Amino acid sequence: MVAVAVLVSGTGSNLQAIIDAVATGRLTCDLRLVLSNRPGAGGLERAQTAGLPTRLIEHQGFPTREAFDGAVVEALGEAGTELVVLAGFDRLVTRVLIDAFPGRIMNIHPALLPAFKGLHAQRQAAEYGVKVAGATVHFVDEHTDHGPIIIQGAVPVLPDDDEERLRARILTVEHDIYPRAIQLFAEGRLEVRGRRVIIHGPRPPAPGPLVAW
C-alpha cells in the first residue's frame, strides 16, 4: 500500500474526507503521518481522533523556507512517505521538498486552474463573475498552483453567492475529488507526460457531468 503523508495548516476538512474514504474502503492507502506547521490546526485534532500519527513543525522556528522544508523532508522520510498530499497547507514549498519527492506531491486548489491561482481563489471567482467554479487536484512543481492536472470538479456559481457560499459548494467537490486522485496514484495509474496526466486503465463513470479526469 502506498504510504501517504498529509500536510495541513487549517481546518482539515479535506484530510477528513481522505480519512473517511480510507475507512469506507473507497481509498486504499496507508496514512502514515499528518504533519502541520500550525499548532492550532484542526487537521491535527482530526488526525488524533482517527488515531493517526501527527507531527508539528512550526515554520517560524526556521530562518528560511528551505530550512523548514528540510525538516519536513526529514519527518516525511522517517515516516516512510511515498506520496505527499498537501491539504490546505499554507506554505509555499521549495525545491528542497519537490526534489525529495519528484512527481509525488499533490495539492488541491479551490479553483478551476489555471484560473484564480493563489490566495482567496473563491473570492476571486465570485468577484470576477464566472458562472462555473470548482476545484483542481494537481501535481506540485516549482510554480504555485501550476503542476500537471489530475482531476477537476466543477460547481455552478449562483446569483446570490458570496465568497462563503461558494467556498462551501466548492469544498463538497474537493472532498469528492481528492480521494479519487490519491486512489489513482495508489493504483499506479497516473503518468505525467509534459503538462498532461495520462490515466491508465478502465475508469468508473464520473459521479456527475462536472467531474472529469
Q: Active-site positions?
A: 109
CB of 24 vs ligand GRF, minimal distance in Å: 18
Q: Binding ligand GRF by CB under 6 A: which of 6, 7, 84, 88? A: 88
Check binding of 81 to ligand GRF (CB under 6 A).
Answer: no
> Should residue 11 be labelled a site residue for ligand GRF when binding is judged by CB under 6 A?
yes
Three-state SS at 136: strand
CB crowding 69-97: b at 16 or more within 10 Å, else e: bbbbbebbeebebbbbbbbbbebebbebb
Rg (CA), the chain: 16
145: left (phi over 0), alpha (psi -120 to 50) or beta: left
Q: Does 14 bind ligand GRF (CB under 6 A)?
A: yes
96-115: which residues touch ligand GRF (CB under 6 A)?
108-110
By CB under 6 A, the count of residues binding ligand GRF is: 14
Binder of ligand GRF out of 12, 147, 153, 179 (CB under 6 A): 12
Asked if residues 33 and 188 have their Cβ atoms less than 8 Å apart, the reply is no
Which residues are at the interface with ligand GRF (CB under 6 A)?
8, 10-14, 87-88, 108-110, 135, 171, 174
